[in-house]
């Protein structure tokens, strides 16, 4: 375990060095992403300008929601950036490289890339949390916890979706749609949804565990939200690792994709 | 003398681009799951939006907000979403071509780089429009009832084509940013988000505060989605004429800028050797 | 001890076939046509520790597939293999600590960073002590003459420099076996020579075994002691290079120059004239039909010999002949 941590740290260091080679591009991506998120928030500003509050959610709650989602997403893709293009890596036979090295394939593959804009998301998330005005040692702790758990669910979901590439070859579009879907939906308050929709956001596209529930946790601690979030993180993570390794077995048997001889 | 010389070459070009367009159509069919996944997104998005707006309308206690009923709003969103989901990643493709220099190699090929990508993207878009629109319609019909207007679809179709053309030009321009910066993804995202707000994809412009609505209508984004979608729920001849003329104007502007950037960028490449 | 032991290795791939055109695409949607491709039919061979083995074959012959199976990246359909005493596809990670690889088409050096950063990262990947890593880097950069290149971003290096760094990287963890797949592809003659020399050095001093796959017979000729020729997923020949050239083909080429102008070029039965010039000629003949001595003697009688060169066919020609003969079977 310790060896993997050392390895991860050196991998992240290499990514950071590589990003620093292009300082201007790095900064522009970070700022660009912050702007991008702000624009998304504008929707809610327009919405709540007209509707004031819906089913107990108002603009402040949206700030917290955005905070946790952006920070979670940001830290996730900053540290495990290859998760976004994993389907492509699989389809192109890119796993061969990681398979030939003595480190856990999933970990190595995911951490071999850093998405610079993720840092922008992270900073935005923190700023959004601060702007909600509920700053205290307590809320900060819950924010960190919520962010980390949200990131875990998010990354796990992406691993699952991208792993489809092992079975269907070209999963790039599906992966991309699913990625956009979970990001989009995580940015909606759960109280807006009834019945089936709520179920959907808790299972197939676990956006509720990336946004609404972590945000709830930051609003006010409850064993229920914490328990749900923690369980979801464990569940999706285990499932993701399992499915990926199943797919890897298929990949190694050569029947995964249309192989170029 | 010159006119007869141009005409056959134009026919030849059109045939060429038609062939490219058809190949792209076939290419897309090679990945059927890919097509289905986009349609799946449509179902998901419409479902979520139905929940959101149903809750919002009932919480507000009103039948009509800013002149739109719940039914209007949902059909509007369906149309806007259909257009959004039907767009291929042109900017990435163009950026790749710029970054690896193949845009320069394309100068040697007997077709225009821009028109080639235009044909390809149109093939992709049209292929996706049909299933997206069908599936979206099924979902919204089930959730909110029949569409507010069933006539005037040809008008809407024309408006959608114009919308896609403007969107292509803007996307290609973003791709060309690769001449200046390595990563254009941030710009792709920003454009996509602008469309979401100022194009009225997430929320109809009709719900905007007045000053913002005016601002949005003076930008090209509204004409890539809001325009056709709004026309769809109220296909009025006057509305159509206004829309199409504004779209035409934006198409000229965006197309013109794109041509300029392309010429400048490729001539730079020719000088600097990529 | 054997570095590699392969017995009856076989690999069959299932690929989806799609007919051309729109109809084909639609048909493939409803009823996909799955075709079996036997990439590797029946491969058996052995390699000693510290050997320099060449694996040669045309595109699609099954070389890459075989290499993938030997590194554990791909599981075979049938057959056994032991690499450094381990079953590659079962003990992939253990094996990974002991082997290195360079794929000409797939670089492992981080493009935007100086090579040394990748080397340091590899030190962590292979769990080497910091001190060990530093020593290795020092040693390898001297051997490969890349010390002055270490701090330059890889993207700024020439292909030859990059390949030297790639091969150095593959040796960082002192592997017992290194697999080089097309390491000199795209390199000029001088760069090729440098890489070949350094690989030879490494093999001599560190005893690291080398498996070299290539289309370039020149690489094989320069580096390898033994060669395995693969085509259509089967081994069609394996032997020492010297034997290959000596036994397989008995033809020779004679290049002769005379002092005076050649007015009536001598004719020798059993020889083929390749080229006739003003002062000399090139002949090809089979030593089974006419012995070398007779050819030389006849030529010597034809005029004043200034220069005679007798050469063996190039490995390229030999291999081409072997492909042709195997195809005929």
Which residues of chain C make contact with B26, given a CB cutoff of 8 A?
21-22, 25
Q: What is the pLDDT of residue B4?
A: 47
Contact C22 B29 (CB under 8 A): yes
Per-residue CA distances from B271 to A155, B266, B267, B274, C291 (Å): 45, 9, 6, 8, 62
Confidence class for position B3, pLDDT limits 50, 70, 90 = very low
C180 falls within a domain: yes
C165 with C265, same domain: the answer is no
Nearest to B52 among A28, A35, A192 (CB): A192
Confidence class for position B261, pLDDT limits 50, 70, 90 = confident
Q: What is the pLDDT of residue B274?
A: 47
Domain that holds residue C116: 2-9+42-245
How wide is the angle at C-alpha A220 spanned by C-alphas A217 and A221, nearest 5°?
A: 65
C109 with C62, same domain: the answer is yes
- Assess C35–A contact: CB distance below 8 Å, yes or no: no
Residue-wise pLDDT tens digits, C308-325 = 998 877 777 777 777 777
Q: What is the pLDDT of residue B102?
A: 74
* 3-class DSSP state of A225: helix
Contact A99 C72 (CB under 8 A): yes
Confidence class for position C173, pLDDT limits 50, 70, 90 = very high
Q: Indicate the average pLDDT of chain A.
A: 89
Confidence class for position A234, pLDDT limits 50, 70, 90 = very high
Compute the average pLDDT of residues C211-231.
Answer: 86
C202 with C273, same domain: the answer is no
d(Cα B230, Cα B242) in Å, to the nearest integer?
12
CA distance C23 to chain B (A): 9
Compute the average pLDDT of residues C33-41.
Answer: 86
Comparing A1 with A158, the larger pLDDT belongs to: A158
Contact A18 C60 (CB under 8 A): no
Compute the average pLDDT of residues A5-9.
Answer: 94
Q: Is a pLDDT exceeding 90 seen at residue B262?
A: no
A5 falls within a domain: no
Q: Indicate the average pLDDT of chain B.
A: 82
Q: Is a pLDDT exceeding 70 seen at residue B226?
A: yes
C239 with C265, same domain: the answer is no
Share of chain B above pLDDT 90, in %: 28
Q: Is a pLDDT exceeding 90 seen at residue C79?
A: yes
Assembly ipTM: 0.85
Residue-wise pLDDT tens digits, B57-77 = 988 888 888 889 999 999 999
C28 falls within a domain: no
Which H or E run includes A166? helix A165-168
Nearest to C112 among A7, A18, A96 (CB): A18
Q: What is the pLDDT of residue B106?
A: 61
Q: What is the pLDDT of residue C93?
A: 93
A191 falls within a domain: yes
Share of chain B above pLDDT 70, in %: 85
Comparing C287 with A208, the larger pLDDT belongs to: A208
Contact B29 C21 (CB under 8 A): no
A7 falls within a domain: no
Residue-wise pLDDT tens digits, A70-79 = 999 999 999 9
C108 with C257, same domain: the answer is no
d(Cα C278, Cα B157) in Å, to the nearest integer?
79
Please name the residue ranges forming H helices in chain C: 21-30, 63-71, 92-96, 115-125, 130-143, 159-170, 189-206, 217-223, 241-243, 292-302, 315-328
Q: Is a pLDDT exceeding 90 seen at residue B180?
A: no
**Among the listed ranges A155-159, A218-222, A228-232, B106-110, which one has the minimum average pLDDT value?**
B106-110
Residue B152 zone, left/alpha/beta (φ > 0; ψ -120 to 50; rest): left
Q: Indicate the average pLDDT of chain C.
A: 86
- Assess C259–B contact: CB distance below 8 Å, yes or no: no
C92 with C120, same domain: the answer is yes
d(Cα A177, Cα C293) in Å, to the nearest integer?
78
Contact A117 B186 (CB under 8 A): yes
A257 falls within a domain: no
Contact C96 A21 (CB under 8 A): no
> What is the DSSP code (8-state) at residue A253?
T
Six token digits for residue A154: 């998010």
Q: What is the pLDDT of residue C122?
A: 95
A224 falls within a domain: yes
Compute the average pLDDT of residues B36-61.
Answer: 81
User: B143 phi and psi, to 5 degrees?
Assistant: -85, -30
C145 with C282, same domain: the answer is no
CA distance A229 to chain B (A): 22
C207 falls within a domain: yes
d(Cα C7, Cα C12) in Å, to the nearest integer?
16
Contact C112 A102 (CB under 8 A): no
C159 with C277, same domain: the answer is no
Residue-wise pLDDT tens digits, C114-171 = 999 999 999 999 999 999 999 999 999 998 999 999 999 999 999 889 999 999 999 9
Q: What is the pLDDT of residue B133?
A: 87
Q: Is a pLDDT exceeding 90 seen at residue B47?
A: no
Q: Is a pLDDT exceeding 70 seen at residue B8?
A: no
- Assess B44–A contact: CB distance below 8 Å, yes or no: yes
- Assess C247–A contact: CB distance below 8 Å, yes or no: no
Pick the residue from chain A with its C-alpha nearest to C115. A14
Q: Is a pLDDT exceeding 90 seen at residue B1?
A: no
Pick the residue from chain C with its C-alpha nearest to A7. C124
> What is the DSSP code (8-state) at residue A255?
-
Which residues of chain C make contact with B23, given a CB cutoff of 8 A?
none
Secondary structure (H, E, C), chain B: CHHHHHHHHHHHHHHHHHHHHHHHHHHHHCCHHHHHHHHHHHHHHHHHHHHHHHHHHHHHCCCEECCEEHHHHHHHHHHHHHHHHCCCCHHHHHHHHHHCCHHHHHHHCCCCHHHHHHHHHHHHHHHHHHHHHHHHHHHHHHHHCCCCCCCCHHHHHHHHHHHHHHHHHHHHHHHHHHHCCCCCHHHHHHHHHHHHHHCCCCCCHHHCCHHHHHHHHCCHHHHCCHHHHHHHHCCCHHHHHHHHHHHHHHHHHHHHHHHHHHHHHHHHHHHHCC
**Among the listed ranges B1-15, B28-42, C221-235, which one has the minimum average pLDDT value?**
B1-15
Q: What is the pLDDT of residue B58?
A: 87
Tell me the range of B33-47, B99-113, C145-159, C264-278 where mean pLDDT is highest.
Answer: C145-159
Six token digits for residue C1: 């001890």
Contact B197 A46 (CB under 8 A): yes
Comparing A116 with A40, the larger pLDDT belongs to: A116
Task: Give how far the C-alpha of residue A63 lies from the chain's centroid of Cα atoms, to the nearest Å.
Answer: 18
Q: Looking at the 3D structure of chain C, how many domains does it have?
A: 2
Domain that holds residue A163: 19-252
d(Cα A28, Cα B22) in Å, to the nearest integer?
38
C191 falls within a domain: yes
Contact A46 B203 (CB under 8 A): yes
C238 with C263, same domain: the answer is no
Which residues of chain B make contact with C26, given a CB cutoff of 8 A?
29
Residue-wise pLDDT tens digits, B187-218 = 887 788 889 889 999 899 999 999 999 999 99
Contact A254 C11 (CB under 8 A): yes
Q: Looking at the 3D structure of chain A, how many domains does it have?
A: 1
C270 with C240, same domain: the answer is no
Q: Are A67 and A126 in contact (CB under 8 A)?
A: yes
Compute the average pLDDT of residues A157-164.
Answer: 96
Confidence class for position B32, pLDDT limits 50, 70, 90 = low
Model pTM above 0.95:
no
CATH of the domain at C81: 3.40.50.300
Residue-wise pLDDT tens digits, A183-203 = 888 988 887 777 777 887 888
Compute the average pLDDT of residues C187-208.
Answer: 88
- Assess A239–B contact: CB distance below 8 Å, yes or no: no
C278 with C308, same domain: the answer is yes
A8 falls within a domain: no
d(Cα C45, Cα C66) in Å, to the nearest integer?
11
d(Cα A232, Cα B259) in Å, to the nearest integer?
51
A2 falls within a domain: no
A106 falls within a domain: yes
* 3-class DSSP state of C54: strand
C230 with C254, same domain: the answer is no
């Amino acid at each position: 375990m310790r060896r993997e941590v050392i390895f991860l740290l050196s991998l992240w260091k290499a990514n950071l060095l590589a990003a620093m080679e292009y300082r201007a591009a790095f900064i522009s991506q970070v700022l660009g992403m912050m702007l991008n998120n702000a624009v998304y928030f504008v929707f809610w500003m327009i919405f709540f300008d007209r509707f004031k509050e819906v089913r107990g959610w108002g603009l402040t709650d949206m700030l917290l929601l955005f905070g946790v989602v952006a920070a979670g997403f940001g830290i996730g893709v900053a540290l495990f950036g290859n998760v976004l293009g994993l389907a492509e890596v699989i389809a192109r036979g890119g796993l061969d490289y990681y398979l030939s090295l003595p480190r856990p394939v999933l970990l190595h593959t995911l951490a071999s890339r850093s998405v610079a804009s993720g840092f922008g998301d992270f900073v935005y998330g923190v700023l959004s949390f601060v702007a909600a005005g509920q700053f205290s040692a307590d809320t900060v702790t819950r924010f960190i916890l919520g962010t980390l758990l949200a990131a875990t669910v998010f990354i796990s979901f992406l691993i699952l979706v991208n792993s489809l590439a092992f079975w269907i070859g070209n999963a790039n579009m599906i992966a991309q749609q699913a990625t956009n879907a979970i990001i989009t939906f995580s940015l909606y308050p759960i109280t807006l949804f009834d019945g089936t929709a709520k179920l959907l956001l808790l299972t197939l596209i676990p956006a509720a565990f990336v946004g609404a529930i972590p945000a709830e946790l930051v609003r006010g601690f409850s064993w229920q939200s914490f328990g749900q979030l923690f369980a979801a993180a464990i569940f999706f993570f285990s499932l993701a690792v399992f499915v990926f390794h199943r797919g890897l077995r298929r990949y190694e048997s050569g029947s995964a994709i249309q192989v170029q001889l | 003398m010159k006119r007869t010389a141009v005409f056959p070459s134009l026919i030849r070009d059109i045939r060429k681009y038609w062939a490219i367009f058809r190949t792209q159509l076939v290419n897309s069919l090679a990945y059927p799951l890919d097509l289905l996944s986009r349609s799946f997104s449509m179902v998901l998005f419409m479902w979520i939006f139905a929940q959101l707006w149903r809750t919002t309308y009932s919480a507000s206690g009103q039948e009509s907000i800013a002149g739109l009923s719940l039914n209007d709003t949902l059909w509007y969103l369906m149309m806007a979403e259909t257009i959004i989901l039907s767009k291929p990643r042109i900017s990435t493709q163009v950026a790749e071509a710029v970054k690896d220099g193949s845009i320069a190699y394309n100068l040697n090929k007997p077709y225009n780089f821009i028109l080639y990508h235009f044909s390809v993207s149109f093939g992709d878009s049209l292929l996706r429009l049909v299933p997206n629109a069908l599936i979206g319609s099924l979902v919204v019909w089930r959730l909110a009832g029949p569409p507010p207007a069933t006539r005037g679809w040809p008008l809407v179709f024309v408006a959608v084509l114009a919308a896609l053309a403007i969107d292509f030009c803007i996307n290609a321009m973003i791709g060309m940013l690769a001449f200046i910066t390595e990563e254009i993804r941030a710009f792709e995202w920003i454009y996509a988000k602008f469309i979401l707000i100022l194009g009225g994809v997430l929320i109809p412009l009709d719900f905007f505060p007045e000053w913002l609505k005016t601002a949005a209508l003076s930008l090209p984004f509204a004409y890539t989605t809001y325009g056709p979608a709004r026309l769809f729920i109220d296909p009025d001849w006057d509305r159509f004429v206004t829309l199409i003329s504004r779209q035409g104007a934006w198409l000229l502007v965006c197309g013109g800028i794109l041509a300029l950037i392309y010429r400048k960028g490729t001539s730079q490449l020719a000088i600097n050797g990529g | 001890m054997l570095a590699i032991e392969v017995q009856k290795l076989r690999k069959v791939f299932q690929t989806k076939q799609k007919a051309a055109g729109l109809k084909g695409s639609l048909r493939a949607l409803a009823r996909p046509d799955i075709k079996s491709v036997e990439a590797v039919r029946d491969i058996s061979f052995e390699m000693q520790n510290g050997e320099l083995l060449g694996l040669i074959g045309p595109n699609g012959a099954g070389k890459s597939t075989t290499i993938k199976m030997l590194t554990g990246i791909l599981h075979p359909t049938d057959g056994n293999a032991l690499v450094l005493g381990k079953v590659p596809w079962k003990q992939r990670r253990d094996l990974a600590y002991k082997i290195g690889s360079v794929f000409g088409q797939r670089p492992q050096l981080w493009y935007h960073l100086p090579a040394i950063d990748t080397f340091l990262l590899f030190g962590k990947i292979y769990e080497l002590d910091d001190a060990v890593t530093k020593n290795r880097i020092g040693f390898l950069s001297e051997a490969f003459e890349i010390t002055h290149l270490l701090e330059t971003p890889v993207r700024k290096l020439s292909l030859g420099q990059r390949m030297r760094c790639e091969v150095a990287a593959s040796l960082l963890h002192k592997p017992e076996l290194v697999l080089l797949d097309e390491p000199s592809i795209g390199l000029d003659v001088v760069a090729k020579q440098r890489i070949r020399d350094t690989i030879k050095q490494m093999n001599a001093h560190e005893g690291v075994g080398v498996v070299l796959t290539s289309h370039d017979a020149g690489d094989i000729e320069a580096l390898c002691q033994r060669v395995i020729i693969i085509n259509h997923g089967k081994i069609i020949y394996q032997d020492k290079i010297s034997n290959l050239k000596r036994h397989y083909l008995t033809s020779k080429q004679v290049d002769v120059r005379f002092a005076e102008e050649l007015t009536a070029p001598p004719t020798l039965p059993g020889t083929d004239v390749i080229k006739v010039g003003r002062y000399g000629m090139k002949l090809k003949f089979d030593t089974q039909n006419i012995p070398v001595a007779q050819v030389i003697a006849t030529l010597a009688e034809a005029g004043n010999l200034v220069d005679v060169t007798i050469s063996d066919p190039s490995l390229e020609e030999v291999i081409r002949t072997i492909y042709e003969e195997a195809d005929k079977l």
